[in-house]
Amino acid sequence: MAEIKNLLFDLGGVIMDIDRARCIRSFERLGMKNAGEFLGDYGQKGPFEALEAGAIGPDEFHAQVRALMGADGKRVSDEQIDRAFNAFLIGIPMERLRCLLELRKRYGVYLLSNTNAVMWHSRIASSFRADGRELNDYFDGVVTSFEARALKPSAEIFRYAERTLGIRACETAFLDDSRANVEAACALGFRGLQVEPGREFSDILKKELAL
C-alpha cells in the first residue's frame, strides 16, 4: 500500500456534530408535516437533495420547501426555512478544530462534503470561526457537492476531488460516517475509514495510521 500523504474528511458526523431529529422538529414547527421523508442521516431527498447537488439555488429551494408545506408555506420566510435547516448542525468541538491544525503539520488535510449553499455560508462558516480562524485555515483544499454538482457516494465526486485538490487516491485516507461512502471510496483506491457514531476521528487515525 502506498504511503498515506493526505487525509480527506467528510464534514457532518465526522468533524461537525449533527442532529437530524432537531432539524425535523424545526421544519414540523413551520408546518412541514412530512419533513422526515426528505431529511436523512446520510442523504436528502427532494429540494434538499437538489440543493446539495447544486441543481437548484437557495431561492428555488425556498420556493420548493414552501410548496411542500402547502398553505402554511405562504407565511414562512426564507430566514425561517434557513434556520430550520441549520438546526441539523450542532457545532464543532474545539478539540477537533485543533486536531485538524496539528494534522496539517504532517499531512495534506482536505474536506469533501455533501453540503449546500444555505448551510455553507452560514452555520458551517461560523462554526469554523469558533477558535478565531476561518474554514480555509484548517484545510489545504475543499470540495463541496453543491459546487462540484455531484454527490457522494458517486464516483464522479471522488474523481472531481482528485483533480481539483491534486491528490492521488492511493495516497489518501478518506474518513466518513457513511458506510456507503467509505465503500465507494475504497472501490476507487482510497484508504477508507468509517467514523462510527460515538467515535472520534483522532482515535481512528491513531489506530489505523499509527499517529
Catalytic residues: 10
* Residue 52 C-beta-side C-alpha neighbours within 13 Å: 20
The owner of cell 413551520 is: 30
Helix (H) or strand (E) holding 130: none
* Residue 180 C-beta-side C-alpha neighbours within 13 Å: 8
Report whether 112 contacts 161 (CB < 8 A): yes
β-bridge mates for residue 89, sequence order:
18
Strands 89-91 and 17-18: antiparallel
Report CA torsion sign: 96, 98, 102, 104. positive
| 3 state SS for 149-176 | CCCCCCHHHHHHHHHHHCCCHHHEEEEE
Distance CA 19, CA 90 (A): 7
